[in-house]
């Protein structure tokens, strides 16, 4: 009997099965597709912050409007707007010719009294000598002593007048009371000024205060060490400090409570500038879920969690409760636990109970991001 080669026999068997299937009218079942590869994130607790953003205003801790102490015409302006000045730097000079003349007159009067005092003393010395020799009476002695006393009193009075005129003359040069930055110069040479005329301002910008008004309900959670952060337009922290002042009462009209923090100005901020400010009310550890991993249906958020069933890795849709949204991540308040693996890719193609395969290079975990509510609104004490 002739033997059939194994390969030929195998081909005949496959052909026979195909013929049988064709004759029976039932197509062969297709092979199951391989599990879809997905990226996952493993949940772990991270520090999250309860924050609120508000509009803050910057104030100088040392700022003053400069007024003259005398009346007169502006003779010279020594400062430019925005110029850095040191303590005692001349700012404005008021015409002092009249006061200078008065000082010269007072000094001349003082010189005259000094001459009279010297003459009275010499007269007293001669009278004392004559009195000892019996050539002068006691009345003449008393008269000479009285002239010396009167001349001394006149000398002291004239000296006081000179000192007064010198002090008054100094008022005609308005100087910076402390180091800072000069504001706009509001007068011009030739203007007449009085003691109520505002000349310019001097503000110290090295140390600034940021003032924020917060709702009274949130102010109850504030503590002396509460952190306040100054942000730029993109939300990046420019500088941070801690509160040193919380108003003891709310504004009766707005029901807002003023809080303040002070910081050393190393970033070029200016007094009276409006800035974004963020208060950190509290911090805690919580799970965070990337915003892209959240699936919503009828307003209910879900997460696709990887589970092991029958030796396979499948995704299960699980309802979750979300907290505040930070930067690209939600705070998870319920529905998930530490160690859960959540799919973060191909979410639209995944179905409940569908087998999946974790990619060999998982997606990086979401960084902890500040979370907060409210409307958008460093340390010196």
pLDDT band at 346 (very low <50, low <70, confident <90, very high): confident
57 membership: H or E segment, kind and range: strand 46-66
| Cα gap 41→366, rounded to integer Å | 8
Report whether 355 contacts 35 (CB < 8 A): yes
The residue among 198, 245, 216, 231 whose CA lies nearest residue 53 is: 231
Report whether 302 contacts 318 (CB < 8 A): yes
For 183, which DSSP code? Answer: -
Q: What is the mean pLDDT of residues 87-109?
A: 92
Q: For position 12, what pLDDT does the model report?
A: 52
Q: Are strands 274-290 and 227-231 parallel, antiparallel or unpaired?
A: antiparallel
Q: What is the mean pLDDT of residues 183-202?
A: 92
| Cα gap 347→190, rounded to integer Å | 77
Q: What is the pLDDT of residues 145-170, one digit of tens each?
A: 999 999 999 999 999 999 999 999 99
| Cα gap 329→322, rounded to integer Å | 10
Residue 298: phi and psi, rounded to 5, are 55, 35
- Highest mean pLDDT among 2-6, 146-150, 345-349 belongs to 146-150
Taking every pair of C-alpha atoms in the chain, what is the biggest distance, in angstroms? 186
| Cα gap 215→210, rounded to integer Å | 17
More confident residue, 21 or 279: 279
- Give the percent of the chain with pLDDT over 90: 47
More confident residue, 23 or 213: 213
Bridge partners of 66, per DSSP, are 200
Q: How many Cβ atoms are within 10 Å of 327's Cβ, its own excluded?
A: 12
Identify the weakest region by mean pLDDT among 32-36, 71-75, 137-141, 232-236. Answer: 32-36
- Delineate the domains of the chain, giving CATH numbers in brackets: 34-62+204-381 (2.40.30.170), 68-94+172-198 (2.40.50.100), 97-170 (1.10.287)
* pTM (two decimals): 0.56
| Cα gap 209→273, rounded to integer Å | 11
In angstroms, the Cα distances linking 254 to 45, 205, 251, 257 are 39, 29, 6, 9
Structure tokens given for 116: 């009279």
| Cα gap 119→115, rounded to integer Å | 6
- Give the percent of the chain with pLDDT over 70: 86
Structure tokens given for 61: 């801790």
Burial class (CB in 10 A: 0-12, 13-18, 19+), 258: middle
Identify the weakest region by mean pLDDT among 27-36, 112-121, 245-254. Answer: 27-36
pLDDT band at 302 (very low <50, low <70, confident <90, very high): very high
Q: For position 362, what pLDDT does the model report?
A: 45
Which residues touch 343 (CB under 8 Å, ≥6 apart)?
A: 38, 39, 40, 293, 304, 305, 306, 315, 350, 356
Per-residue b or e along 266-291, where b marks 16 or more CB atoms closer than 10 Å to that residue's CB: eeebebeeebbbbbbbeeeebbbbbe
pLDDT at 26 over 80: no
Q: For position 61, what pLDDT does the model report?
A: 80
Q: For position 213, what pLDDT does the model report?
A: 95
Q: For position 340, what pLDDT does the model report?
A: 92
pLDDT band at 30 (very low <50, low <70, confident <90, very high): low
């Amino acid at each position: 009997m002739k033997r059939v080669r194994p390969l030929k026999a195998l081909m005949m068997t496959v052909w026979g099965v195909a013929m049988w299937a064709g004759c029976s009218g039932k197509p062969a079942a297709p092979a199951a597709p391989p599990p879809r590869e997905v990226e996952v994130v493993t949940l772990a607790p991270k520090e999250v912050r309860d924050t609120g953003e508000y509009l803050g205003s910057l104030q100088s801790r040392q700022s003053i409007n400069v007024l003259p102490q005398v009346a007169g015409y502006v003779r010279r302006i020594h400062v430019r707007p925005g110029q850095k000045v040191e303590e005692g730097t001349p700012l404005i000079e008021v015409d002092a010719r009249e006061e200078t003349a008065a000082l010269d007159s007072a000094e001349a009067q003082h010189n005259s009294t000094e001459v009279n005092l010297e003459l009275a003393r010499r007269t007293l010395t001669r009278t004392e000598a004559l009195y000892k020799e019996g050539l002068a009476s006691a009345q003449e002695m008393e008269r000479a002593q009285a002239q010396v006393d009167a001349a001394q009193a006149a000398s002291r009075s004239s000296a006081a007048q000179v000192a007064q005129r010198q002090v008054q003359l100094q008022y005609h040069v308005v100087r910076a009371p402390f180091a800072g930055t000069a504001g706009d110069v509001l007068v011009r040479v030739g203007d007449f000024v009085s003691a109520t005329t505002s000349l310019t301002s001097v503000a110290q910008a090295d140390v600034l205060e940021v003032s924020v008004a917060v709702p009274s309900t949130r102010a109850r959670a504030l503590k002396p060490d509460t952190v306040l952060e100054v942000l730029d337009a993109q939300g990046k922290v420019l500088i941070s400090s801690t509160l040193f002042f919380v108003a003891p009462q709310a504004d009766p009209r707005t029901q807002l409570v003023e809080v303040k923090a002070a910081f050393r100005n190393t970033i070029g901020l200016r007094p009276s500038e409006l800035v974004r400010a963020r208060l950190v009310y509290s911090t805690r550890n919580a799970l965070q879920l990337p915003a892209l991993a959240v699936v919503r249906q009828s307003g209910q958020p879900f997460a696709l969690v990887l589970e092991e069933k029958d030796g396979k890795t499948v995704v299960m849709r699980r309802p979750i409760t979300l907290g505040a949204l930070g930067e690209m991540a939600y705070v998870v308040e319920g529905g998930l636990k530490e160690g859960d693996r959540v799919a973060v890719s191909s979410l639209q193609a995944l179905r409940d109970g569908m087998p999946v395969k974790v990619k060999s290079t998982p997606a990086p975990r979401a960084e902890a991001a500040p979370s907060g509510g409210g409307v958008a609104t460093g340390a010196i004490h």
